């Protein structure tokens, strides 16, 4: 089961509305390298990991990704809070307003809805973990692209924190992958 903590993993307090950045950051909510995709990829893979290390790591990183979904959603909410219909339309968010009003909806920056087809699972622990490593690298690259497009410290702080988490997650997945490879060599 999961327990809710009524706080963010990293605080988000964005003072300036920014619909342009909201549209770009949206991909980290419901896009192919987004937090929702990462969370579900790991939590879905954990059941069949070959040992306790793998089950623990995928459970814990998957859980942290859920906290990152909340950070990204919070950023989107604050970046769009108080926008008028005209402002939303001018920022290219008219179609979003037509369908969802001011609600959030998980999609990529182009508006393609989130799909579970993004998540990878292959019935093989090495293939699974290497797809997790790739997911972390793609997310890191996306955070760098997003950081390239703003100088607002209120936006850069959380983006930088989230990017750094991808680096740590990548490292731990790599250690797990290498450990499994060693085990395979030993046992063959």
- The residue ranges that bind other proteins (CB under 8 A) are 3-15, 53, 56-57, 60-61, 64, 70, 73-74, 77-78, 81, 143-144, 147-148, 153, 156-157, 160-165, 167-172, 174-176, 178-179
In angstroms, the Cα distances linking 145 to 96, 107, 163, 166, 168 are 23, 18, 11, 14, 19
Cα dist from 142 to 13, 25, 139, 159, 166, whole Å: 21, 9, 5, 10, 11
Rounded least distance, CB 137 to other proteins, Å: 8
Least separation, in Å, of the C-beta of 33 and other proteins?
16
Indicate the residue among 5 and 84 with the shorter CB distance to other proteins: 5
Q: Which is nearer to other proteins, 117 or 151 (CB)?
A: 151
- Give 11 or 94: the residue with its C-beta nearer to other proteins: 11
CB of 176 to other proteins, least distance (A): 6
Residues with Cβ within 8 Å of 87's Cβ and at least 6 positions away in sequence, in order, are 17, 19
Q: Which is nearer to other proteins, 117 or 148 (CB)?
A: 148
Q: C-beta of 114: minimal distance to other proteins in Å? A: 19
Residue 3 to residues 7, 59, 67, 116, 137: CA-CA distances in angstroms?
12, 14, 11, 24, 28
């Amino acid at each position: 089961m999961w327990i809710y903590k009524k706080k963010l993993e990293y605080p988000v307090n964005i003072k300036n509305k920014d619909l342009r950045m909201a549209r770009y950051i949206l991909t980290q909510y419901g896009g192919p390298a987004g937090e929702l995709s990462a969370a579900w990829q790991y939590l879905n893979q954990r059941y069949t990991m070959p040992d306790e290390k793998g089950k623990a790591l995928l459970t814990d990183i998957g859980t942290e990704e859920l906290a990152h979904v909340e950070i990204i959603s919070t950023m989107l909410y604050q970046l769009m809070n108080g926008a008028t219909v005209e402002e939303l339309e001018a920022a290219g968010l008219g179609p979003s307003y037509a369908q969802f009003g001011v609600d959030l909806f998980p999609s990529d920056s182009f508006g393609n809805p989130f799909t579970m087809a993004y998540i990878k699972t292959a019935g093989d622990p090495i293939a699974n973990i290497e797809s997790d490593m790739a997911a972390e690298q793609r997310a890191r690259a996306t955070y760098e692209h997003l950081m390239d497009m703003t100088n607002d410290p209120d936006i850069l702080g959380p983006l930088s924190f989230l990017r750094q988490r991808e680096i740590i997650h990548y490292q731990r997945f790599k250690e797990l992958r290498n450990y499994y490879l060693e085990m395979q060599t030993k046992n063959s």
